[in-house]
Structure 1
Amino acid sequence: MGKITALLVGVCEYLTGHSLPKCKNDIYVLKEALVHGINVNPENIFLCGKDGTVTLKELVSSIERALFNLTNDDTFIFYFSGHGGKNCLMLSDGIIELQNLIDTIGSITTKNKIVILDSCHSGGFDLNDIAKIDINETTDQFAGRGYAVLASCGADEYSGFDNDRQISKYTSFLCDALTSSYLIRQGKKSLEEINEAIFRFAEVSNLKAKNSTSIIQKPIFRSSIGGTIFFDVEEYTPYKVNNIYEESDTYIIYEVKPLHHGGAKRLSVNVILRFKSSLEQIAKISKEIKNKVLHYEVHQNEISEYSYAGKPANIVWCSFGYDEDDMIDCNFVCQTTWVDDLQDKENWYHSSNNDITVEGVHVTLNGSYELIKSLRDSTLNKNELICITREYTANIISAAERYIKMFREYLNSTLTEDQFINSVSSLNIEISKWFFKQSELPIPPNELHDWAHIHTRLACTIHDFTLFYDRKNINTWKSDNRKWLLTNAIKQYELELEELKLADQLIRV
């Protein structure tokens, strides 16, 4: 991403004489949190209100100074701490309209705008824009771009202070979320998870406040960002899984996948048979491969390697096909299973119409192999498939963004759960329609396989949204469980958007 520039405004002194001396502390504490939490360059952080006084003229000149030299790839953060009223923020010499400020910052032509408000009644604003994706552009033009506003409390609520830390209470939540190392995933922090942490801190604080005279305040979050913003916070080197590829006269070990889990070292081996083979021949090959891969060191990650290195495999699956298409499509003639004496063999060597034992080897047959093979015959050429896939994905993403916008209002307590369920009933139908349309697309050619698979996974994740808040499933989960499930599905959606953004850059029509 481009550079991040922040303007932090703290207003302590007012014409009314009702001063807020701690607001000056907020801008210094937040500056440190931005630097150490999301790697904002200190030179790109501007402070307004160092002496506690901020006039309208000073605010305008500070905004102009902060915006100078910003490009379309940059992110602008505006923070305000001070008195707030009904749809207004108070400066030392007067007031400014809250909605007008938000709309003005929203018109700035940077990649991202983030407004953070720590003042009473700060949630009394609208952010009506919904992120829109253009099928004629790559996902990079959509994902991680837009406008978000974080506010310390609802329109009818008051904001308080953390007297122990001598800063505003919401700002303390914000700083703790920004600097939390627990939010780092693959070297990044997301705005989504930063805000989620803020909500959790506020929830704990409000529970304590119920037993005291402290102010109860519920943060507000509204966004028109496609997905979310990911901030680079530390170097990340992905774990490199050993790539195994071996050839023999009768078969090719195409890939060995580590599936270690629950104390068992488990390997899945994809095998290309060079010749049409009987089940007896496959069973013999399976035994040979099992003995060969038993001590292979293939692991999912560093933790897995630490736990299983030097140990023989406890479970080995061999999946057999006849060409690379079968490997890419995961369409196998059959699969064999071997487990050691430490495993529950009755569980793994289960019996069904598709399971047989050949030469002492447990074999699971795939009766749909030839049918799936035939589905590769498509009437669509490569470019047509790209275009129609993008069209379906754009439609389901657009529905997802509308769904997320309403869910945020439910989290903001401006909608009850029942109102939210009613609001998304038509979206459940729309999302399902595009999901099933995409599921009916033909199998893509090999060069589009990974790209198309990301589209499919994204559609599946979005379709999960429809499960949690559908009337027919209302008794499946409790309210808090539904909220948790959709929150995590949204975070998965945002991660998959990032994957699609990278994959899309390699595809051209």
Structure 2
Amino acid sequence: MSNLNALVVGVSNYYIPDVVDLPFCMNDVTLMEEALIKGLKVQKQNITTCGKYGDAKTEDFKRALSKVTTIDKNDTLIFYFSGHGATIDGQHYLVFSDGIISTQEIIEHFKEIQAKSKVILLDCCFSGNFSIDETSSFNIEKTVEEFQGEGYAVLSSSNSDQVSYGHPEKPVSVFTSFLCDAFQDKHIVKQGKVSLYDIQRLVSLYLEVWNKRNPDKMQHPVFKANMGGTIFFDVKEYQPYYSTNIYAEYDNYIIYKVEPVHTGLAKRYSFKVILKEPLSLEEIGKISLKIKDQAKNIEVYNNEIAEKRWINKLPNIIWVYFGRDEIDIIKNNYICHTTWVDEKQDKKWWYKVNGKETFILNGVHYNIHPYYEQLRSLNIENTVSKEHLVFKSKDILSRMITLAEKVIKIYNDYKNGEITEEELFEEMDAYIPELDK
């Protein structure tokens, strides 16, 4: 089982000539601790703090750093820094109470820590002045779950030329205030998880609004990652909704499955049926009418909202799709389908006919699928062994994910202001032949 660990550093007191104190940074530490605990559900004992009372010397930081370097290889590590940042001879440094440490060296150190996922959050001036390695490549021998979140990401409060500010209405930093709000935002929680991707997007949105309101104190965050996909943080207990499976076998047909396709205005079902023997259209129509009557007692939904909306109510629309075997169902290839609607629906719309593929026979509306036989032959001819399919799927998946990581990096470079829109399109052009394969 993986754990979430954090190293939180704030530097308020400085003993370096001409370096002013930053009283709000110790408040940043307290706010960040609370946000990590309440928002990302980090256990308090898994948070190592440096500078809670103002002082954070280089040796204090190194000792704190040594505590978190021994975490498990499946864990996630978050490093947060609030304090002065400085650029000297083109290199960025984090400024501690009594000295400086190269930001790039810290990033390189965190990169080598065995934790699966590392996140570096920098709230200091000129903090966008850093670099990362090239993007991750997906190893075909790994699962997507193993690849997901593996690596490191850096989110800075400003670009390489900008100052980072304290909040004018709160005793904390602007960036930290927005970051902590994002950690605790319930609207970006999906299925009990919140992603690093959504967190950084929300922080960027907050700062975009801030910049419009404060043009003299603009901060453009920089996000760079050498990571498979993103990190998902478990923040809320999630109970998945399990849809009912319907399977019923009769003398000459099988109801293979029933798909709920409800909308806010209509209760709708799509039945997928396998014919066990060749049947005429009249016989298919009789099956369709029988299924329509059976549907009155069926309750199948995709989620709780739909269930609460439609439970114990009669269906408004029913489609029945007929295939010859499981291959047809899997490939979504059918001989025909029938449509039934109740009196509340516009029957002129639903029962349109052209006399060829669509028509009404014995009160049943049919839609014949004219390319069924050709598609069936194609599906059968191109059916391969499970082993071959797995191998080819892994190969395609590997190339797709690796390419996606490269494209995402280019887009992030554009968002970070490191390349122009013209350069974005030029770099994307190089990948178009690969995308077209």
TM-score (norm 2): 0.95
Q: Distance in 2 between matches of 1:43 and 1:400?
A: 37
Aligned partner of 1:22 in structure 2 is 24
More helix by share: 1
Q: Distance in 1 between matches of 2:350 and 2:201?
A: 41
**1:409 and 2:413 equivalent?**
yes
Q: Measure how far apart 1:295 and its partner are.
A: 4.2
| SS at 1:80 equivalent | strand
Aligned partner of 2:288 in structure 1 is 286
Q: Distance in 2 between matches of 1:118 and 1:39?
A: 22
The one of 317, 320, 334 aligned to 1:318: 320
**1:64 and 2:59 equivalent?**
no
Matched residue type, 2:3: K
Q: Distance in 1 between matches of 2:414 and 2:45?
A: 38
Q: How many residues align?
A: 429
Aligned partner of 1:354 in structure 2 is 357
Q: Distance in 1 between matches of 2:363 and 2:425?
A: 54
Q: Distance in 2 between matches of 1:184 and 1:194?
A: 10
Contact 1:295 1:311 in 2 (8 A): no
Contact 2:159 2:219 in 1 (8 A): yes
Aligned partner of 1:81 in structure 2 is 82
Going from structure 1 to structure 2, the CA distance change for 1:419 and 1:349 (only over 3 Å counts) comes to farther
Q: Measure how far apart 1:429 and its partner are.
A: 2.3
Aligned partner of 1:7 in structure 2 is 7
Q: Distance in 2 between matches of 1:191 and 1:244?
A: 38
Contact 2:78 2:121 in 1 (8 A): yes
Q: Measure how far apart 1:379 and its partner are.
A: 7.2
Contact 1:13 1:52 in 2 (8 A): yes
Query: Which moves more between the two structures, 268-277 or 115-124?
Result: 268-277
**1:90 and 2:92 equivalent?**
no
Q: Which runs of 5+ in 2 are unaligned?
A: none
**Equivalence map 1:57-456=2 (5 Å):** 57-68=59-70, 70-86=71-87, 87-210=92-215, 213=216, 215-352=217-354, 353-374=356-377, 375-378=379-382, 380-433=384-437
Query: Which moves more between the two structures, 106-115 or 292-301?
Result: 292-301
Over the aligned positions, Cα root-mean-square deviation in angstroms equals 1.5
> Quick one: percent identity of the two aligned structures?
40
Query: Which moves more between the two structures, 383-392 or 186-195?
Result: 383-392
Q: Measure how far apart 1:74 and its partner are.
A: 0.7
Q: Distance in 1 between matches of 2:388 and 2:351?
A: 44
Matched residue type, 2:350: W
Q: Distance in 2 between matches of 1:136 and 1:83?
A: 44
Q: Measure how far apart 1:120 and its partner are.
A: 0.5
Q: Distance in 2 between matches of 1:92 and 1:421?
A: 44
Q: Distance in 2 between matches of 1:296 and 1:384?
A: 39
Matched residue type, 1:417: E
Q: Measure how far apart 1:324 and its partner are.
A: 2.1
Matched residue type, 2:46: N
Q: Distance in 2 between matches of 1:340 and 1:233?
A: 44
| SS at 2:139 equivalent | coil
Q: Distance in 2 between matches of 1:415 and 1:185?
A: 32
Q: Distance in 2 between matches of 1:410 and 1:185?
A: 27
| SS at 1:298 equivalent | coil
Q: Measure how far apart 1:37 and its partner are.
A: 0.7
Instruction: Provide Cα deviations, 1:64-91, integer angstroms capped at 9, x if missing partner.
Output: 01223x1110111111100011211111
Q: Distance in 2 between matches of 1:278 and 1:266?
A: 26
Instruction: Provide Cα deviations, 1:324-352, integer angstroms capped at 9, x if missing partner.
Output: 22222222111111112222223322345
Going from structure 1 to structure 2, the CA distance change for 1:379 and 1:372 (only over 3 Å counts) comes to closer
Q: Distance in 2 between matches of 1:49 and 1:66?
A: 16
